């Protein structure tokens, strides 16, 4: 139809092809008048009148819309060729946001995008229209992961009674079609909600809710098969979100949410609760990215709210955790304590046989405490009643995964416990584990003393990948399919899980004891070499660095666009996470700080080795 360099209506220069279908070609073009790149959708010549009518209906529909979640139309051509010009969306489909990980970044990105789409559908429905073909390819992402609903070729007025058919089947995409579409019945706003439920299900789990070898079998399953809840396929999916997605996939339209607007409101509630609970997990979630969705927004204004002393403080690798608004400390004095966030008062103390070697972990109504001798102890929260203990695991690290608990062992194993704390499976690594497990994209990653990294399927316990990387003293960090591997001797590797290759290696001065933090495509790494480094997650290139007055043992953390780091001389510092500008600096003790600071709402909690605990706000 058009070739590279062709000029359309003396304005749009074709610079490439984006795609084509039975009805139209889509080109990448440069608008010479406004000096910007656009997408150009051009109707194929000599089409049947019904297809031409459908194309014009899409133009008319888009021209009426003005919503940030819907692709914008810029121009219309009705000359030699019928075309329309729209904004160029260069990201991938909506499903690129998944599978869902239980960490603040993944939850923020996916749930925020889902809310935008639900709001866009609510807007369309308020205009009395139905999209009728909601699929991942019709919800494209910008580079900032902002979704845009597009391709309104099947849009229909809700009061219309005429149905478009193709070989006896209602138009649409079978995997995403509602039961009423499959039966050839009338469609309405609930139809779009069902299709969006399929999109969400596939995004969070990586699988279709109903799949088969051919279209007719898929449609049959939409009508008759029972849905497997999303959280059964992916334990990282919060139960509330899984139930909400299931409500979209009800067979009877009357049992689905009353409207897209009501669904958006429910999503906001799930988002708020999920982000609040993400503070319960070490370093912000199962991927251990070190990112917290909520934190002090202006560190320059931070002041001490209270300061208390406890029996010694957290010693590396122990740290600070949270449980339903309370602060949890694992101490080197053989106990874990719970502090009231309001004033730092001790409200609970739990004695264990040896020094606590990680931040106490709250999950599913239980508090898990790991002692340096390898024992794991579970108590009820907040009552503190003993529930379970295992002194024979020789545990190295813990990680909740939905209702399950993953434990790495000095015996060279990764063990998965069910909700009732009975073992489900055991993976033998052949060498003692040295790090806690990290869960990302259906795999648990951990390092062993012989320098190997193991990736294990979290459902079956089967080995997925094993690579030699060197000695790791701290857990890997995962983000967007990339594992950051901090080798003790001062190397940071970026490893692509899908390609199974090292993307880059970054060298630092001094040994690495703390895990990196990841946020917005950036990695933050500190070491014994007294420098905080910021590197590109994809390339490993230097973005900025800051020199400190003392070595760093603890992992940095990121919240509200600020990276916080603590040092061996008792200081806590804040830097602009984008440019590295120093924003704040405070000394809380003359003793070292070896536990990462904890952003907790609008507060920042810091605990030093001598037992000084300070809340800033």
3-state class of 266 per DSSP?
helix
Q: Can you give the pLDDT at residue 561?
A: 95
* CA diameter of the chain: 83
Is 486 within the bounds of a domain? no
Cα–Cα distances (Å) from 524 to 508, 513, 541, 580, in that order, read 12, 13, 12, 10
- Those residues whose C-beta lies under 8 Å from the C-beta of residue 532, and which sit 6 or more positions away, are 524, 525, 526, 545, 546, 548, 552, 556, 563, 565, 575, 580
Query: What is the signed CA dihedral for 99, 100, 104, 109, rounded to 10 degrees?
Result: 70
> Considering only CA atoms, which of 566, 590, 604, 615 is closest in space to residue 316?
566
| Average confidence score pLDDT of the chain | 91
Is there a contact between 28 and 16 (Cβ–Cβ < 8 Å)? yes
Residue 483 pLDDT more than 70? Answer: yes
Q: Can you give the pLDDT at residue 162?
A: 35
CA 348 – CA 311 distance, rounded (Å): 13
Residue 171 pLDDT more than 70? Answer: no
> Considering only CA atoms, which of 219, 178, 172 is closest in space to residue 197?
178
Q: Can you give the pLDDT at residue 165?
A: 35
Same-domain pairing of 244 and 156? yes
Choose one of 245, 278, 311: the last residue of a domain. 278
Q: How many CB atoms lie within 10 A of CB 75?
A: 16
- Those residues whose C-beta lies under 8 Å from the C-beta of residue 81, and which sit 6 or more positions away, are 8, 42, 43, 45
Residue 613 pLDDT more than 70? Answer: yes
Q: Can you give the pLDDT at residue 210?
A: 95
3-state class of 191 per DSSP?
helix
CA 256 – CA 243 distance, rounded (Å): 11
The residue ranges of DSSP E strands in 261-385, in sequence order, are 291-292, 304-309, 320-323, 326-330, 335-340, 346-351, 361-363, 366-370, 376-380
Q: Can you give the pLDDT at residue 158?
A: 42
Q: Can you give the pLDDT at residue 344?
A: 95
Place of tokens 């807007």: 123
Q: Can you give the pLDDT at residue 218?
A: 92
Q: Can you give the pLDDT at residue 364?
A: 86
Is there a contact between 595 and 611 (Cβ–Cβ < 8 Å)? no
The first and second tokens of residue 585, run together, are 């600096």
Return the CA Rg of the chain: 27
Q: How many CB atoms lie within 10 A of CB 73?
A: 22
Is 169 within the bounds of a domain? yes
Same-domain pairing of 22 and 143? no
Mean pLDDT of 144-164: 63
What's the structural domain count of the chain? Answer: 2
Same-domain pairing of 193 and 161? yes
Same-domain pairing of 152 and 255? yes
pLDDT digits (tens, 9 = 90+) for 361-414: 998 889 999 999 999 999 998 888 999 999 999 999 999 998 899 999 999 999
Q: Which residue has the higher pLDDT, 203 or 144?
A: 203
Domain holding 161, by residue range, is 104-278
Q: Can you give the pLDDT at residue 178?
A: 93
The residue ranges of DSSP E strands in 458-553, in sequence order, are 463-468, 477-479, 482-487, 491-496, 501-507, 517-519, 522-526, 531-536, 542-547
Active site residues: 133
**Burial classification of residue 166, based on how many CB atoms lie within 10 Å of its CB (0-12 exposed, 13-18 middle, 19 or more buried):** exposed
- Categorize the per-residue pLDDT at 22 as very low, low, confident or very high, splitting at 50, 70 and 90: low
Q: What is the H or E stretch that residue 297 is in?
A: none
Same-domain pairing of 168 and 45? no
3-state class of 74 per DSSP?
strand
CA 334 to chain centre: 35
Cα–Cα distances (Å) from 152 to 63, 75, 522, in that order, read 11, 16, 36
Residue 160 pLDDT more than 90? Answer: no
pLDDT digits (tens, 9 = 90+) for 68-84: 999 988 988 877 788 88
Mean pLDDT of 40-51: 78
The first and second tokens of residue 456, run together, are 């294990």
CA 227 – CA 382 distance, rounded (Å): 35
Is 431 within the bounds of a domain? no
- Categorize the per-residue pLDDT at 446 as very low, low, confident or very high, splitting at 50, 70 and 90: very high
pLDDT digits (tens, 9 = 90+) for 208-235: 999 998 999 999 999 999 999 999 999 9
Q: Can you give the pLDDT at residue 451?
A: 95
The region of weakest confidence among 360-364, 501-505, 608-612 is: 360-364
Q: Which residue has the higher pLDDT, 186 or 443?
A: 443
- Those residues whose C-beta lies under 8 Å from the C-beta of residue 383, and which sit 6 or more positions away, are none
Is there a contact between 320 and 359 (Cβ–Cβ < 8 Å)? yes
Q: What percent of the chain has pLDDT over 90?
A: 74
Same-domain pairing of 72 and 141? no
- Categorize the per-residue pLDDT at 298 as very low, low, confident or very high, splitting at 50, 70 and 90: very high
Is there a contact between 310 and 356 (Cβ–Cβ < 8 Å)? no
> Considering only CA atoms, which of 487, 495, 446 is closest in space to residue 470?
487
Residue 324 pLDDT more than 90? Answer: no
Cα–Cα distances (Å) from 397 to 313, 319, 494, 508, in that order, read 19, 12, 22, 26
CA 325 – CA 341 distance, rounded (Å): 6
Domain holding 24: CATH number? Answer: 3.30.200.20
Choose one of 242, 259, 278: the last residue of a domain. 278
Same-domain pairing of 181 and 245? yes
Is 453 within the bounds of a domain? no
3-state class of 270 per DSSP?
helix
Same-domain pairing of 237 and 160? yes
Choose one of 222, 254, 278: the last residue of a domain. 278
Domain holding 159: CATH number? Answer: 1.10.510.10
Q: Can you give the pLDDT at residue 168?
A: 34
Q: What percent of the chain has pLDDT over 70?
A: 96
Q: Can you give the pLDDT at residue 154?
A: 55
pLDDT digits (tens, 9 = 90+) for 304-319: 999 999 988 999 989 8
Same-domain pairing of 131 and 45? no
Is 154 within the bounds of a domain? yes
The backbone region for 283, taken as left when phi is positive above 0, alpha when psi lies in -120 to 50, beta otherwise, is left
Residue 179 pLDDT more than 90? Answer: yes
Is 192 within the bounds of a domain? yes
Same-domain pairing of 125 and 47? no
Q: What is the H or E stretch that residue 125 is in?
A: helix 104-126
Angle at 392 between CA 388 and CA 394, to 5 degrees: 110
What backbone torsions phi and psi does residue 320 show, to the nearest 5 degrees? Answer: -115, 135
Same-domain pairing of 261 and 139? yes
Place of tokens 């003793």: 591
Is 44 within the bounds of a domain? yes
Q: How many CB atoms lie within 10 A of CB 190?
A: 23
Same-domain pairing of 209 and 138? yes
Is 579 within the bounds of a domain? no
Q: Which ranges of 127-233 would DSSP assign to H, the alpha helix? A: 179-182, 189-205, 215-224, 230-233
């Amino acid at each position: 139809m058009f070739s590279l360099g062709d000029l359309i209506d003396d304005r749009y220069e074709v610079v490439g092809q984006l795609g084509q279908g039975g009805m139209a070609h889509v080109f990448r073009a440069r608008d010479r008048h406004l000096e910007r790149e656009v997408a150009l959708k051009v109707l194929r010549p000599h089409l049947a009148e019904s297809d031409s009518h459908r194309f014009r209906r899409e133009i008319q529909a888009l021209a009426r819309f003005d919503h940030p979640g819907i692709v914008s139309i810029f121009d219309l051509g009705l000359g030699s060729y019928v075309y329309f010009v729209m904004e160029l969306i260069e990201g991938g489909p909506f499903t690129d946001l998944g599978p869902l990980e239980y960490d603040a970044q993944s939850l923020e990105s996916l749930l925020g995008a889902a809310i935008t789409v639900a709001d866009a559908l609510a807007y369309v429905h308020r205009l009395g229209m139905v999209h009728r073909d909601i699929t991942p390819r019709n919800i494209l992402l910008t580079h900032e992961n902002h979704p845009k609903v597009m391709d309104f070729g099947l849009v229909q007025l809700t009061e219309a009674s005429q149905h478009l058919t193709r070989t006896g089947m209602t138009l649409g995409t079978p995997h995403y079609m509602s039961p009423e579409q499959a039966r050839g019945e009338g469609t309405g706003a609930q139809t779009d909600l069902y299709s969006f439920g399929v999109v969400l299900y596939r995004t969070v789990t990586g699988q279709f809710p109903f799949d088969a070898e051919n279209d007719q079998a898929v449609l049959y399953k939409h009508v008759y098969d029972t849905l497997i809840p999303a959280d059964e396929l992916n334990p990282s999916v919060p139960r509330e979100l899984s139930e909400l997605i299931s409500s979209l996939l009800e067979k009877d339209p009357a049992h689905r949410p009353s409207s897209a607007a009501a669904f958006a409101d429910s999503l906001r509630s799930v988002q708020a609760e999920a982000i609040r609970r993400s503070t319960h997990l070490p370093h912000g979630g199962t991927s251990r990215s070190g990112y917290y969705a909520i934190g002090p927004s202006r560190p320059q204004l931070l002041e001490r709210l209270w300061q208390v002393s406890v029996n010694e403080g957290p010693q590396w690798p122990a740290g600070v955790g949270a449980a339903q608004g309370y602060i949890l400390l694992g101490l080197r004095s053989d106990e874990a304590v719970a502090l009231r966030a309001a004033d730092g008062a001790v409200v609970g103390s739990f004695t264990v046989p040896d020094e606590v070697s990680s931040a106490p972990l709250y999950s599913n109504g239980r508090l898990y405490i790991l002692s340096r001798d390898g024992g794991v102890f579970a108590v009820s929260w907040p009552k503190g009643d003993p529930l379970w203990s295992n002194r024979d695991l020789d545990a190295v690290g813990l990680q909740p995964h939905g209702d399950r608990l993953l434990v790495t062992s000095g015996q060279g194993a990764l063990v998965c416990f069910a909700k009732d704390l009975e073992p489900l499976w055991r993976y033998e690594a052949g060498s003692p584990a040295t790090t806690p497990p990290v869960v990302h994209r259906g795999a648990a990653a951990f390092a062993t003393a012989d320098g190997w990294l193991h990736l294990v399927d979290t459902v079956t316990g089967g080995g997925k990948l094993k690579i030699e990387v060197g000695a790791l003293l701290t857990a890997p960090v995962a983000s967007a399919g990339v594992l950051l591997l901090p080798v003790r001797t001062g190397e940071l590797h970026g490893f692509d899980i899908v390609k199974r290759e090292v993307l880059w290696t970054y060298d630092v001065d001094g040994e690495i004891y703390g895990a990196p933090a990841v946020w917005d495509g950036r990695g933050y790494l500190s070491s014994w070499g007294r420098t905080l480094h910021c590197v590109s997650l994809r390339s490993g290139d230097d973005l900025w660095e800051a020199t400190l007055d003392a070595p760093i043992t603890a992992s940095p953390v990121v919240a509200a666009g600020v990276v916080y780091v603590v040092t061996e001389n008792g200081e806590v510092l804040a830097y602009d996470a984008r440019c590295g500008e120093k924003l704040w600096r405070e000394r809380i003790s003359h003793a070292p700080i070896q536990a990462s600071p904890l952003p907790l709402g609008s507060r920042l909690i810091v605990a030093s080795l001598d037992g000084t605990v300070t809340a800033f706000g």
